[in-house]
Chains A and B, each alone.
Chain A
Amino acid sequence: MSGIVATIIAKYNYWIYICLMMIGLYAMITKRNLIKKIVGMNIFQTAIILFYVSIGAKRGGTIPIIEHAHGGQSHAVEAVHYINPLPHVLMLTAIVVAVATLGVALALAIRIYNRYRTLEEDEILSRIRGS
């Protein structure tokens, strides 16, 4: 029993990541306002970024910058002391893609509002069926 509790406590970042992901999915599925759906989509994306950055983190590790890189003395680099920078680089791309999708989604929401004068999904559907 204490082994399970210790595992849950040691991996708390991943549990919070799952909670954030489900919050985003809930907002995308059940909210009827289009802006709320877009906020849910962004929460989903940042939850995935949190997961990847948590993979690369290490206890007691420092940021992945080598000191005296161009100095005279040469020394061996031990990768154990540095946080893994590969997930960070991948997630930089994901942040840029997230803001691009956000811009496109908000532009579409503004166009929908200009045409139907509402942002609620059910009202938009009733106006599409009505006219």
Chain B
Amino acid sequence: MIWELDMAILTLVLFCAVGAITVKDLLGAAILFGAYSFMMCLLWAIMGAVDVAFTEASVGAGVSTVFFVAAVFRTTRRTKD
């Protein structure tokens, strides 16, 4: 575990999480959540959990983002908060 890389990606994860819940556009929130999931995947690859990392890359960053984009496409992008 390289702690400088770990620390840098942890701060990116925090920024992506805060951005995903504060942005005033649901499609932007979906894409930022995908970036958050991919940063988490990198974090687990750094920590040596490679099986969790590739499951998260395919399921978390891939399928979840597709689900969110499909749901936003079926409903609306407008949000008040």
Interface, chain A (partner B; CB < 8 A): 12-13, 16, 19-20, 23-24, 26-27, 30-33, 35-36, 39-40, 42-43, 46, 49-50, 53-54, 56-59, 61-64, 83, 87-89, 91-92, 95-96, 98-99, 102-103, 106, 109-110, 113, 118-120
Closest chain-A Cβ to B15's Cβ sits at a distance in Å of 11
Residue count of chain B within 8 Å CB distance of chain A: 42
Please give 16 more A-B residue pairs, beta carbons under 8 A apart, in addition to A16-B13, A50-B40.
A12-B7, A20-B13, A32-B81, A33-B79, A35-B79, A39-B30, A40-B21, A42-B33, A46-B40, A57-B49, A58-B1, A59-B1, A87-B49, A95-B59, A119-B26, A119-B79
The yes or no answer to B5 lying at the interface (CB within 8 A) is: no
- The total of Cβ contacts below 8 Å across the A-B interface reads 130
B60 near A46: Cβ-Cβ < 8 Å: yes
The yes or no answer to B35 lying at the interface (CB within 8 A) is: no
Q: List 15 A-B contacts (CB under 8 A).
A: A12-B10, A16-B13, A36-B81, A40-B21, A54-B47, A63-B48, A64-B48, A83-B49, A91-B49, A92-B51, A95-B59, A99-B60, A109-B71, A109-B75, A113-B74
Contacts of A110 in B (CB 8 A): 71, 74-75
Query: Which secondary structure dominates where chain B touches chain A?
Result: helix
Query: Which secondary structure dominates where chain A touches chain B?
Result: helix
The yes or no answer to B29 lying at the interface (CB within 8 A) is: yes
Given A12-B7, A35-B26, A109-B71; A95-B60 close (CB under 8 Å): yes
